[in-house]
Amino acid sequence: MSITVTPILPRFGAEVSGIDITGPLSEENKREIIDIQNRWGVTVWRDTGLDDDSHVAFTRIFGDVILAPKTRGRPRFAHPELFDASNLDADGNIVDDEHRRLTNRGNRLWHSDSSFVQERAAQSLLLCHEAPNGGPTWFADTRSAYDDLPQAMKDRLAGLEARHCYFWSRRRAGYPYTEEEVDRFPHSVHPVVHVHAGSGRKALYLGAHARDIVGMEREEGRALIEELNDWVGRPEYIFPVEYRPGDMVIWDNLCTYHRAGDFDESLHRRDMRRTTIRDPQAPDSGDGSVQAMFRQASQTDGRIAGLQDPKS
Ligand code: OGA
Ligand code: MN
């Protein structure tokens, strides 16, 4: 079996084929897949044949799997590792409420998964079970975007750290939090530029959850974050992936951003399930700080008109 790699952009993203990933893999194949992932940042796997079991099993080749936060309402699947990125409830009906609309709006901002906790994500593996026509995910190359920055900007960024907060990106998506309320929620701190361990290349690490630059006036920090987020979103660094059932995309949150594309989620069913690997260099919080964050978020949801009290 020989693995075929077809680049999407010259420096970023590749479609991978020629290997069956539904069963156990040789050490050599695992190594090869990890190398391809490290080199290209985003890999697209068509018609994988994966189900929930084999999705979770395959994910483990990358490292420790983060457990998903509890969803509002009854969970749709048995595996605690599966994040529900769908617009469906446990009966398979489209969920159409204000909470869903706001969450989706937040997902349409460029972001890096779980940057709002220290225990942040490395790879995310998103498997399509059902897709509308249209409803892509967009990906952005934070390594090439860094490489291409003017030297003066690279010098300015050296040593800077950003504070990230889940409630900040929710506020930007339209959740009714005040700036002072966001202040009281947990924040993480990460370097604005880091060396991506898998490739040795430097990458930007900001996105929608990034709120402030440590030690910088709030407005100045905000302007810098916005300028860099806009820079990463330039056409030469981005591409969309459209899905059919069975397709999977793997992105490395430590060298990419992503955002959900536009589609009318109140009309079309979209069933996407995600597994996530913990950054091996991040602290392991044990019970999972991502869960704690979402628990806290659901406790604040009651103030949004039209929301039922979340049960989880
Ligand atoms: C995610 C995510 C985007 C999408 O699962 O982390 O941002 O297109 N998904 O579903
Ligand atoms: Mn995401």
Helix (H) or strand (E) holding 240: strand 238-241
Minimal-distance CA residue to ligand 1 atom 9: 260
Helices 166-173 and 98-107 cross at an angle (nearest 10°) of 110
pLDDT digits (tens, 9 = 90+) for 195-213: 999 999 999 999 999 999 9
Expressed in angstroms and rounded, the spacing between residue 85 Cα and the centre of ligand 2 is 9
Question: What is residue 285's predicted lDDT score, i.e. its pLDDT?
Answer: 66
- Which pLDDT belongs to residue 27? 98
Residues 123 and 277 sit within 8 Å (Cβ to Cβ): yes
Q: Hey, is 276 helix, strand or coil?
A: strand
Distance, CA 95 to ligand 1 centroid (Å)? 16
Count, residues in the chain: 312
Q: How far is the CA of 18 from the centre of ligand 2 (A)?
A: 27
Q: Measure the CA–CA gap between 147 and 134, rounded to whole angstroms.
A: 32
**Would you say 266 and 94 are in contact if contact means Cβ atoms under 8 Å apart?**
yes
pLDDT in tens, 63-89: 999 999 876 678 899 999 999 999 998
pLDDT score at 69: 84
Phi-psi region of 15 (alpha: psi -120 to 50; beta: other; left: phi over 0): beta
What does the alpha-carbon distance between residue 84 and residue 47 come to, in Å, rounded to a whole number? Answer: 20
| Stretch (H or E) spanning 202 | strand 202-204
CA of 146 to the centre of ligand 1 (A): 23
| Closest C-alpha to ligand 1, atom 3 | 260
Q: Is 126 touching ligand 1 by the criterion CB < 6 Å?
A: yes
pLDDT of residue 286: 62
Which residue segments constitute the domains of the chain, with CATH numbers given?
4-305 (3.60.130.10)
274 lines ligand 1 (CB under 6 A): yes
Positions in the chain whose pLDDT score sits under 50: 307-312
Looking at the chain, list the stretches that DSSP marks H as alpha helix, in order from N- to C-terminal side: 27-40, 52-59, 98-107, 142-147, 151-157, 166-173, 179-184, 218-232, 289-300
Query: What is residue 296's three-state secondary structure?
Result: helix
In short, whether 33's Cβ falls inside 6 Å of ligand 1 is no
pLDDT confidence of residue 298: 79
Per-residue model confidence (pLDDT) at position 96:
80
Cα 2 to averaged position of ligand 1 atoms, centre (Å)? 30
pLDDT value at position 245?
97
Minimum-distance ligand 1 atom for the alpha carbon of 276: 6
Give the Cα separation of 112 and 129 in Å (integer). 23
Q: Candidates 44, 108, 124, 257: which one to mutate for ligand 1, based on the most atoms within 8 Å of Cβ?
A: 124
Using alpha carbons only, give the angle 33, 36, 38 rounded to the nearest 5 degrees.
Answer: 110
